[in-house]
Amino acid sequence: MIDTIVLVLNTGMFTILDHDKFSPSTKGLYSSTDGYYRLGGRSNFTCKQNPTRDELKRGIYKPRLTATKRMNKAGKFEITMKVEFSIPKLLYGNNFDELTDEDFTTVAGTL
């Protein structure tokens, strides 16, 4: 059974509408004047957005988002977005219902 899916989007494949929903804010990934984040010894820096406790209590399901700034193989900075989610939770609100190939269109439409 397929459960958790991780999508990694490259720069240009996503837009961050509210930088302050990430911890720390993603503003520092893009701007040298807005709290620029220096890359650590591993040459990357991450900002995360997870569902809040209040959202979880109210039964609101959201994917976990991780924005990462790193040096690519060409030696240039790139920002990627990792989107991690459970397909059964997204569609049915639980991890018990199994999916089939016929659910693909519904999954794509929901995303």
pLDDT digits (tens, 9 = 90+) for 4-43: 889 999 989 999 999 999 999 998 887 765 555 666 556 7
For residue 81, which of 70, 63, 66 has the smallest C-alpha distance?
66
- Helical segments of the chain, H only: 27-30, 53-57, 87-92, 104-110
Predicted pLDDT at 97: 80
Contacts of residue 107, defined as CB under 8 A and 6 or more positions apart, other chains included, come to 87, 90, 91, 99
pLDDT tens-digit map of 62-105: 899 999 988 888 878 889 999 999 888 888 888 778 888 888 88
Stated pTM of the model: 0.80
Q: Give the model's confidence band at 61: pLDDT under 50 very low, under 70 low, under 90 confident, else very high.
A: confident
Are residues 25 and 47 in contact, defined by beta-carbon separation less than 8 angstroms? yes
Domain ranges of the chain: 4-105
